[in-house]
Chains A and B, each alone.
Chain A
Amino acid sequence: MKIYGVAILAGCFLVGQIIGNTIGHWVNIPGNMGGVAFAMFLLILVNERARKKGLLKEETVAGIQFWNAMYIPVVVALSATQNVRAALTGGWVALVVGVVATGCCLLLVPLLSKIVVKGNNHDTTI
């Protein structure tokens, strides 16, 4: 049944949130640290284990795939509910700092991708 898939997803999500919030509490920050990532790891783990044992029926997977497919529509709704006016109230300082700092971070993407690939290759040769 599809609801089994949705339930597995919900279970992974909630456990991830609990782990993330616990870590957030430990390091004394409001909110959660990496909750989504822990939930994703958990789902990947459950997925691989259950698939190997043949426990994962097509219908169950369909329950998870539905929410996977809802991702872009949710992001569209998310964009439509952003506080875009706040971006304008900060004036020139906000605009210059926002654009320049973000641009610099984007430039680091290819740089860092390369450096670490080299590092990884090095690791495997050892």
Chain B
Amino acid sequence: MQVIEKVISSNGLVFAFLFVGVIMFLSYWFSKRVTRNKIPGAAIAIIVGLALAFLGNDHGIADVGIFSGMALLGGPMMRDFTVVATAMGASYIEIKRAGLAGIISLLVGVIAAFVMGATLGYLMGYTDVTSVTTIGAGACTFIIGAITGSAIGASSDVIAISIAIGVIKSIMITVITPIIAKQISLNSPHSAMVFGGLIGTTSGVAAGLAATDPKLVPYGALTSTFYTGLGALLCPTILFMIVQWILG
């Protein structure tokens, strides 16, 4: 047993390949045989992943010794590297056609999430300017929540709430996107770019689109990659000042 553990923990990334391969195999088998292709295999595999994350803490399953390699395989470096590779299947003409839609959806996405988050936070009893702004920023993405909260000096429990909001958003998008894709007519490169810009949470958009239709991934990734930068730019500055002005 000790030998096995030693081999696995010193070859974390290789073990992660094996482990994810097994998850994929079982999920695709389940998709085909049990759900008769109604739920895509990728969607099942991603939900299995989320469920496994409960085994650990801050870094999900990677907190458990032998699974530490999962942090490398599922880390931002591999995520971005493979997302860039999906551009091989993207059409430049489609991107150009939806370019304006992408830019507008980015602005609308950041502002809409912020306004909704800030308003709900205010209604639920967080009435001071810094808390309202931080909660609004968390409704964009958890990184924006953390950046904004520390920039304007919010208390640590409010920052924790704002990060939690961002994580809930990311998980909700991952799970719900393939289910409601038809209802929100998410079926073309154009709508995928709008979706990426409006939602913005890179991991959620990436996982949600992968489970819906892998062909749409590059288009959603293209816009969502600007979202966190834009939110981190707007929330602690202009949007914070507007909240300050409204709440006097």
B-binding residues in A (CB < 8 A):
9-10, 12-13, 16-17, 20, 23-24, 27, 29-37, 39-41, 43-44, 47-48, 61, 64-65, 67-68, 70-102, 104-110, 112-113, 116-117, 119-120
Beyond A10-B81, A93-B126, A96-B120, list 7 extra A-B contacts (CB 8 Å). Answer: A34-B229, A75-B203, A76-B45, A81-B53, A85-B58, A98-B166, A102-B168
Q: Can you spell out 22 A-B residue pairs with CB atoms less than 8 angstroms apart?
A: A9-B84, A17-B80, A35-B80, A44-B92, A75-B74, A75-B203, A76-B49, A80-B48, A80-B61, A80-B70, A81-B60, A82-B50, A82-B53, A85-B54, A86-B163, A93-B135, A102-B168, A104-B112, A108-B198, A109-B198, A112-B105, A116-B105
CB pair A76–B20 under 8 Å, yes or no, is yes
Which secondary structure characterizes the binding site on chain B? Answer: helix
B152: interface (CB < 8 Å): no
How many Cβ-Cβ contacts under 8 Å join chain A to chain B? 321
Q: B79-101, CB under 8 A of A: which get 1 and which 0?
A: 11111111111101001011011
Interface: B149 (CB within 8 A): no
A74 touches B113 (CB 8 A): no
CB closest residue in chain B, given A27: B233
| Residue B117 at the chain A interface, CB threshold 8 Å | yes
Q: Which of B116-153 contact A (CB under 8 A)?
A: 116-117, 120-121, 124-126, 135, 138-139, 142-143, 147
Segment among B1-9, B31-39, B219-227, B240-248 that sits at the interface with chain A: B219-227
**Chain B residues positioned under 8 Å from A113 (CB to CB):** 101, 185, 190-191, 194
Sort chain B's interface into a size bin.
Answer: 35 or more
Quick one: which of B45, B85, B169, B202 contacts A102, CB cutoff 8 A? B169
Residues A90 and B168 in contact, CB atoms below 8 Å apart? yes
Which residues from A are CB-within-8-Å of B218? 40
Over the window 148-170 of chain B, the binary record of Cβ atoms lying under 8 Å from chain A Cβ atoms (1 yes, 0 no) is 00000000000011011111111
Q: Flag if B86 contacts A68 (CB, 8 Å).
A: yes
A64 partner, pick from B17, B88, B108, beta carbons under 8 A: B88
B42 CB-CB contact with A under 8 Å: yes
Q: Assess whether B59 is in contact with A83, with CB atoms less than 8 Å apart.
A: yes
Q: Is A78 a contact of B113 with CB atoms below 8 Å?
A: no
Which of A76, A93, A95, A112 has its CB near the most chain B CB atoms (within 10 A)? A76
Question: Shortest Cβ distance from B191 into chain A, in angstroms?
Answer: 5
Residue in contact with A30 in the complex, picked from B139, B207, B232, CB distance below 8 Å: B232
